[in-house]
């Protein structure tokens, strides 16, 4: 019987726990007296002794951040944003779209599928004088990029997009441009010697003029394809 009374006391404590969390004061007889208290007496005692504890203070309004706390928060935000930008450039998100990489060395690297397009709101150059020699640029996007004096010699640009770019004096020697997309700016490049342009998408009028160039000759050292044949120049 004693064990049953102890169980009743435990159940009672669990039942009034929500009251305690809301500021109510509950008086419960010590467990040592449980053997002398009936279930009816326990219920009556609980009902009689439950009272509101007015000493509990209401929650205060949250404090405004101090100058030091605000400074720390701003510093943390700056660090996070800087890390995000670095991650984006390394290939985690935004790639190189709209970024000025003028004169930088991207040679002998793997940039497969990266985005090098020029942002519409950007007025600065993208890759003037930049070198991508012997790099993997498969599937990259250079849409509207500024590629004046850019070096693509020996690069793998299969499936890459070069529409609406500025390619004045760009070096396309020995380039592997199978299945790539070009615009009229292809006429302005410095050299196409040894390039493989098999299945490349080139405007018909532009292609006719391309075939008249003296530098459209040679054989690609990687694919072994003749440049003129890859362009279907007669």
pLDDT of 164 > 50? The answer is yes
3-state secondary structure at position 82: helix
Read off the pLDDT of each residue in 109-125 and give the average, rounded to a whole number.
Answer: 75
Q: Which residue blocks in the chain are alpha helix, DSSP H?
A: 2-21, 39-49, 67-87, 204-210, 227-230
What does the alpha-carbon distance between residue 192 and residue 179 come to, in Å, rounded to a whole number? 16
pLDDT of 3 > 50? The answer is no
What does the alpha-carbon distance between residue 170 and residue 163 come to, in Å, rounded to a whole number? 14
pLDDT band for 65, please (50, 70, 90 cuts): low
pLDDT at position 22 is 46
Q: Which of 198, 208, 188, 209 is nearest to 231 (CA)?
A: 198
What tokens appear for 153 in the block?
């010699």
pLDDT at position 122 is 53
What does the alpha-carbon distance between residue 180 and residue 77 come to, in Å, rounded to a whole number? 41
pLDDT at position 29 is 45
pLDDT of 197 > 70? The answer is yes
CB 129 within 8 A of CB 102: yes
Q: What percent of the chain has pLDDT over 90?
A: 50
pLDDT of 135 > 90? The answer is yes
Q: What is the DSSP letter of 221?
A: T
pLDDT at position 120 is 57
pLDDT at position 26 is 45
Question: Cα-atom radius of gyration of the chain, to the nearest Å?
Answer: 38
Q: What percent of the chain has pLDDT over 70?
A: 56
Mean pLDDT, the chain, rounded, equals 74
pLDDT band for 73, please (50, 70, 90 cuts): low
pLDDT at position 80 is 44
Question: Could you tell me which residue, 124 or 102, shows the higher pLDDT?
Answer: 102
pLDDT at position 223 is 97
Per-residue pLDDT tens for 10-64? Answer: 444 444 444 444 444 444 444 443 444 444 444 444 444 444 445 545 545 555 6
Residue count (the chain): 234
Rounded (10°) angle between helices 2-21 and 39-49: 20
Note the pTM of the prediction, 2 decimals.
Answer: 0.60
Other CB atoms within 10 Å distance of the CB of residue 86 = 10
pLDDT band for 222, please (50, 70, 90 cuts): very high
């Amino acid at each position: 019987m004693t064990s049953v009374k102890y169980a009743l006391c435990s159940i009672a404590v669990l039942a009034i726990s929500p009251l305690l969390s809301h500021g109510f004061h509950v008086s419960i007889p010590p467990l040592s007296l449980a053997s002398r208290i009936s279930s009816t007496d326990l219920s009556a005692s609980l009902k009689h002794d439950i009272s509101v504890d007015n000493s509990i203070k209401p929650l205060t309004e949250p404090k405004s951040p101090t100058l030091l706390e605000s400074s720390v928060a701003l510093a943390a935000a700056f660090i996070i944003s800087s890390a995000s930008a670095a991650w984006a450039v390394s290939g985690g998100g935004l790639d190189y779209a709209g970024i000025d990489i003028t004169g930088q060395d991207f040679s002998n690297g793997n940039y497969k599928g990266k985005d090098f397009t020029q942002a519409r709101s950007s007025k600065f150059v993208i890759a003037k004088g930049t070198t991508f020699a012997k790099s993997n640029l498969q599937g990259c996007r250079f849409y509207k990029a500024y590629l004046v004096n850019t070096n693509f010699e020996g690069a793998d640009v299969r499936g890459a997009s070069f529409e609406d770019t500025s390619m004045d004096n760009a070096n396309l020697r020995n380039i592997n441009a199978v299945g790539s997309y070009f615009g009229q700016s292809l006429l302005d490049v410095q050299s196409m010697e040894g390039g493989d342009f098999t299945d490349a998408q080139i405007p018909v009028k532009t292609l006719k003029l391309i075939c008249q160039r003296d530098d459209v000759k040679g054989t690609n050292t990687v694919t072994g394809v003749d440049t003129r044949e890859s362009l279907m120049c007669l």
